[in-house]
Amino acid sequence: MDTRNLWLGVLGIFLGIIVIVWSADLTWAPAFFPRVVSVVLIVLGAFAAGHQIFLIASDAQQRSSVFHQISTGNWRGNWKRELLLLPPLVIAVVYVYFFRKLGFAWLTPPLIVATAWFLGYRKLWVSVLVALGFSIILYISFRYLLNVPIPRSPLLGI
């Protein structure tokens, strides 16, 4: 039984809770968008995890043993495949943690390049150009079009 949706759902719930907790000290206006996205992420994560648990529980071969497998730790999933979810989680947690300390300009391009690399895109120069272009578009959109203050880099002041 494929358990990726279960783990992705748990990951979504976890990331949503982290963003809500870390945005607690922001004022209402800048925190509104991250909190809305967090609530959506938590709801979708709960739906994905619940749907996968329902599919596992309704499977005729595992119906009687699924809760026993979970409680005893004898899960039949391929644990190496589930470990593939760890790098995106680490990348996201590092990004959120250092966002205020280093600012948008220093963190967003490496995040985009790391995500592209993780997803299998190996042309580094193209990833860097796309990351820089997308970061500039995001910065201009949030800073000037939406008037949302973005944490500035203490090193460059941008």
What are the extents of the domains in the chain?
A: 1-77, 79-158
CB count, 10 Å around CB of 107? 21
pLDDT at 40 over 80: yes
Residue-level pLDDT at 69: 53
Of 4-13, 25-34, 63-72, 79-88, which has the strongest mean pLDDT? 4-13
Q: pLDDT per residue over 148-158, tens digit each?
A: 778 777 766 55
Query: Which of the two residues, 133 and 1, has the higher pLDDT score?
Result: 133
What is the spatial distance between Cα 95 and Cα 111, in angstroms, rounded to a whole number? 7
pTM above 0.85, yes or no: no
Q: Which of 73-77, 97-101, 130-134 has the lowest mean pLDDT?
A: 73-77
Contact predicate 92/15, CB 8 Å: yes
Contact predicate 84/54, CB 8 Å: no
Contact predicate 7/84, CB 8 Å: no
What is the spatial distance between Cα 142 and Cα 103, in angstroms, rounded to a whole number? 14
Beta strands in the chain (DSSP E): none
pLDDT at 4 over 90: no
Nearest to 100 by CA among 150, 135, 142, 148: 150
Q: How far is CA 51 from the centre of its chain?
A: 20
Contact predicate 47/9, CB 8 Å: yes
What tokens were used for 25?
A: 């000290």
